[in-house]
């Protein structure tokens, strides 16, 4: 199979300043894409912009006006968008029983993780229509399909994003936009934070062994699949999700 190139293509990655988003941004930049990073963390965005020679656009994806302005700016500067990757996401507050759950916290997680991708797709659509092969990729989670206790907001948001993926795929087919999802499992992002937030990672043998492939994931695992799913080589794939979790969700546990 020939190398995938994104030469001449404009790729927007939300939450692209750190973590999995930054890993994907680096991979798309290496594939010659014009990479745009949308993030609400300005310190991280400026660092990432320098590291990749990408363009950083400050934006909170939960805020309609900020998303609308961002797409307007992209239209003025690039005239179109080829790939939108809805990656920005938050998991906090992670713990807390149903009794303790604050609805404001629940609403914020839903606003970023579910309403954010919807807003980005809505305001990007006019720009995506101008692309020859437009694609949207939503980053969901294996938590859309299985749960630890007390993770209501995050789990519900990612389940919603899985459903939004097929709703968008079917609805935007008339605009030739393919829409897919990647559902990551445990991906270690400590090395991919802004300098002031970087942390070393120590995985126990148990951490590794609970994955059939024998290790925890890294952002590059997601980036490789993103390069394929957003490319013309995946032209017959839409409305699907790819679980990338080292096999964790198919491992049966009896004790
Ligand atoms: N790391 C994992 O194990 C894992 C597993 C499954 C799914 N995911 C998903 O992958 C995505 C990336 O996660 P990560 O681990 O790289 O996280 P991360 O915290 O390392 O990076 C997320 C980035 O998104 C930005 N962001 C957060 N809220 C935002 C907002 N409202 N608007 C714009 N930017 C915002 C942050 O500033 C940060 O730069 C998320 O959607 C997450 O739910 C991660």
Q: Report yes or no: 142 and 243 within 8 Å, Cβ to Cβ.
A: yes
- pLDDT reported for residue 37: 98
- Helix (H, G, I), strand (E, B), or coil: what is residue 255? coil
Residues (pLDDT < 50) of the chain are: none
Residue 126 DSSP SS3:
helix
The tens digit of pLDDT for each residue in 97-143 reads 999 999 999 999 999 999 999 999 999 999 999 999 999 999 999 99
Q: pTM surpassing 0.75?
A: yes
pLDDT for residue 92 = 84
> What is the rounded CA–CA span in Å between residue 130 and residue 177?
10
**How many Cα atoms within 13 Å fall on the side-chain side of residue 207?**
11
Name the region of 246 (left: φ>0; alpha: ψ -120 to 50; beta: rest): left
CATH architecture for the domain at 10-250: 3-Layer(aba) Sandwich (3.40)
Residue 184 Cα distances to 49, 125, 142, 161, angstroms = 25, 25, 6, 13
- The domains of the chain are located at 10-250
Which one of 19, 48, 142 would you pick to mutate in the ligand 1 pocket, going by the greatest count of ligand atoms within 8 A of its CB?
19
d(CA 97, CA 101) in angstroms, rounded, equals: 6
Q: Residues near 134 by Cβ (< 8 Å), separated by ≥ 6?
A: 81, 82, 83, 128, 175, 176, 177, 178
Atom of ligand 1 nearest to the CA of 194: 39
Provide the 8-state DSSP code for 135.
E
Which of 79, 191, 180 is CA-nearest to residue 137?
180
pLDDT at 1: 52
At 178 the pLDDT is 99
Q: Is residue 179 within 8 Å of 136, Cβ to Cβ?
A: yes
> In this structure, which residue's CA is closest to atom 7 in ligand 1?
141
Tokens 């979790």 locate to: 245
Which token pair is 88? 């920005």
Q: Which atom of ligand 1 is nearest to the CA of 89?
A: 41
Residue 249 is given by DSSP the state G
Quick check: bond before 240 cis, omega within 30? no
39: β partners: 58
Place of tokens 């043998």: 205
Ligand 1 pocket list (CB less than 6 A): 14-15, 17-21, 38-41, 44, 59-62, 87-91, 112, 116, 139, 141, 184, 186-187, 189
Task: State in Å: Cα 77 to ligand 1 middle.
Answer: 26
Taken in order 22, 24, 28, 31, the sign of the CA dihedral is positive
Query: What pLDDT shows up at residue 96?
Result: 84
Report the pLDDT value the prediction gives residue 3, as an integer from 0 to 100: 87
Name the residue of 13, 18, 20 to mutate for ligand 1: max ligand atoms within 8 A of Cβ.
20
Tell me what pLDDT residue 94 has. Answer: 64
Identify the pLDDT of residue 2.
65
């Amino acid at each position: 199979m020939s190398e995938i190139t994104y030469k001449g293509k404009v790729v927007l990655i939300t939450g692209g300043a750190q973590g999995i988003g930054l890993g994907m941004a680096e991979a798309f930049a290496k594939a010659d894409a014009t990479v745009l990073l949308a993030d609400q963390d300005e310190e991280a965005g400026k660092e990432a912009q320098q590291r990749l020679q990408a363009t950083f656009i400050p934006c909170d994806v939960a805020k309609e006006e900020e998303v609308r302005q961002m797409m307007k700016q992209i239209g003025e500067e690039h005239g179109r968008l080829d790939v939108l990757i809805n990656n920005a996401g938050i998991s906090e507050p992670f713990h807390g029983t149903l009794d303790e759950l604050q609805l404001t916290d629940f609403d914020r997680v839903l606003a970023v993780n579910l309403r954010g991708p919807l807003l980005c797709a809505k305001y990007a659509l006019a720009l995506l229509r101008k692309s020859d092969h437009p694609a949207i990729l939503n980053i969901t989670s294996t938590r859309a399909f299985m749960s630890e206790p007390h993770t209501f907001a995050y789990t519900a948001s990612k389940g919603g994003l899985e459903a939004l993926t097929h709703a968008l795929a079917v609805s935007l087919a008339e605009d030739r936009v393919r829409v897919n999802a990647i559902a990551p499992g445990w991906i270690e992002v400590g090395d991919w934070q802004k300098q002031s937030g970087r942390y070393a990672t120590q995985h126990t043998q148990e951490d590794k062994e609970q994955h059939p492939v024998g290790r925890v994931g890294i952002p590059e695992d997601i980036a490789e699949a993103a390069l394929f799913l957003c490319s013309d080589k995946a032209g017959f794939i839409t409305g699907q999700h790819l679980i990338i979790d080292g096999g964790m969700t198919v491992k049966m546990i009896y004790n």
